[in-house]
Amino acid sequence: MESMEIDRGKAPSTEEEKKEGKAIVLVLVGLPGSGKSTFCDEVVKVYRRRPWVRVCQDTINKGKAGTKIQCLSAATNALKEGKNVIIDRCNINREQRADFLKLGSAQTEIHAVVLNLPTKLCISRSVERTEHEGNLYGVKAAAVVNQMLPKKELPKLSEGFNRITFCENETDVKEAIYLYASLGPLDSLPSGRFGHNKTDTTIQLGIMKFLKKKASDIIVEKVEEFVSRIGRARLILVDLSRESKILSLVKAKAAHRNIGRNKFFTFVGDITQLHSQGGLYCNVIANAANWRLKPGGGGVNAAIFKAAGPELEMATNESADCLRPGKSVVVPLPSSSSLFAKEGVTHVIHVLGPNMNPQRPDCLKDDYVQGSKILREAYSSLFEGFVSILESQGIVTPAKDDQKAKREGAHVSDSNKKQKGSEQSLKHGVKHWATWFQALYNVAMDPAKDENIVLEKTDDVVVINDAFPKAQKHFLVIARLDGLDSLADVCKEHVTLLKTMHDVGLKWVEKSLDENKSLTFRLGYHSVPSMKQLHLHVISQDFDSNHLKHKKHWNSFNTRFFLDSVNVIKELEDTGSVTLITDDFRSMELRCNRCRSAHPNLPRLKSHVRSCKAPFPADLLQNGRLFTSEGNA
């Protein structure tokens, strides 16, 4: 970076010492993880005679995230008080910067420092940090960085800046910090453009350049090809962003091709927290790996390796050294991995798609014909790997031409395979399935082993108390039919069973109302349950329980995610299937189940619910969805 000098001017006279130079509004420009907040902290804490004020949108609203208007107001007030201002926002394009340039005047200069560090470094920092004022870390941070990249527009003097400094590495950043921290009240900096800005090649260039429309066609094509081979298993396409273009395209095309939601659906959430945050139990997850099969880099790869811990890296090293584009490798995850223990993930399938990045091996440049071919191969290899896991568990039976299919879609080239791993380790990994999400299945299949918790047992169902009740009364009516994991598996032939479950649930409602006539009950299913084996929730609507601790608990019973038993039965009779709601209910507002008022947190909501006397919403009072001592509400 070019040297930067402070213009100290002539030695000030006694009268001049009472005056001050022009104030500075320093606009930081950089992606998440580029070091903007660190830059601010360093300048503010070591300033000499020139006072600086940090204006950060993540904390502007009494320590919480605020708005640009609040930032502008705070900056204006600081300037009126004779202070200098550092704007700590991403400011990645002209539009985001425009309003701050209006702060310039005859007494105020507008400077920019561009933290134009490598994208890979920004993603790595964002993913690995554990504390951030804006709660931006982990895989979510990687996604945000990649979403910002196409919008990135480096600042120009023509926008109205007096001075722009480009920092391309850590040394440049340190020099810029020293420069602004050293400014005295009469010091000024030369106007103009300083430093060298390089063209930034993004770590996700291949994904961004590859046409999403074409990619979505290939995904749906391959899903359609493989769904007949996965038995009762399901495929789920996951993306962090609700605005994901690829997710919406795939969802629409899958519906157009009549691919059943009991076989394939899309989901918005963090792939490393599908159970704990999304209520899904996914035993196998796919990782968009790098060719070296190493942690780091950015995006999903870094997040998955971090969530799984060192066990995944060691298990990967035992399976393969590297990957070629279009190939995948199945890695059994040791039970000691935190991703196994917390989320129930037993296998990670590393897969490598086409590379359009000239800085990485096997770059295709702009050959999208070959890119499409490799992407097809990648999904074929990925799904073949998934099928091989299902076969090893006995969930599906190998087809006659399975050996040929495996040869054509080989997961790892022979040159990349290692002696260890293979079939034996694959089967070994399956033995250690996490037990928490199979608990209901085990009770249903062999109630005698858990007779101390079984309230009722018939040939069709088992009734137990929920082990972690979310209300005063919370029963589970569990179907005993093997292979019926959730509503995604039900069809018209199961109507009689669901009616039986409903009737048994009503019997326990009546017993509870005999004990406490003030209770109101609702019967229903979670669209995507957190535990294996179809089960009906019979739950009182007081939600007075110490086990109701998280927003996801409340919203799983009080949003569209909770499907009323009567509605499920009717839809099944009419259409032969049930429409599942896979919205991310975690992000929905916390609202009272009676008056529908919104509340900022769960303790406030629970306090309100205890005293709320409003009638239940009109929609809940229809079709026999609520049950009281006086009958249907």
Crossing angle (nearest 10°) for helices 245-256 and 212-226: 40
Task: Label the pairing between strands 284-288 and 347-351.
Answer: parallel
Is residue 56 helix, strand or coil? Answer: strand
C-beta pairs of 627-630 under 8 Å, 24+ apart in sequence: 627/506, 627/509, 627/513, 627/520, 627/521, 627/522, 627/523, 628/513, 628/519, 628/520, 628/521, 629/513, 629/517, 629/518, 629/519
Positive or negative, the CA dihedral 117, 86, 299, 272 is: positive
φ and ψ at residue 208, rounded to 5 degrees: -70, -35
Q: Using CA atoms of 383, 386, 388, 393 in order, give the dihedral in degrees to the nearest 10.
A: -150
| Residue 273 CB partners (closer than 8 Å, separation 6+) | 307, 343
From the candidates 535, 550, 553, 599, give the one annotated as an active-site residue.
Answer: 535
Does 535 qualify as catalytic in the annotation? yes
What is the Cα 381 distance to its own chain's centre? 25
How far is residue 165's CA from residue 412's CA, in Å, rounded to a whole number? 47
333, 319 Cβ separation under 8 angstroms:
no
**DSSP secondary structure letters along 234-246:** -EEEEES-TT-HH
Place of tokens 């991995």: 337
DSSP H or E segment with residue 267: strand 264-268
633, 621 Cβ separation under 8 angstroms:
yes
What is the Cα 320 distance to its own chain's centre? 28
How far is residue 568's CA from residue 369's CA, in Å, rounded to a whole number? 45
Gyration radius of the chain's alpha carbons: 29
How far is residue 327's CA from residue 374's CA, in Å, rounded to a whole number? 9
Amino acid at position 581, single letter: I
Task: Indicate the burial class of 489 (C-beta count within 10 angstroms; 0-12, 13-18, 19 or more).
Answer: middle
Q: How many CB atoms lie within 10 A of CB 465?
A: 14
282, 236 Cβ separation under 8 angstroms:
yes
φ and ψ at residue 25, rounded to 5 degrees: -105, 110
Crossing angle (nearest 10°) for helices 68-80 and 94-101: 30
Q: If we measure between CA atoms, which residue out of 42, 74, 43, 41 comes closest to residue 57?
A: 74
Active site residues: 535
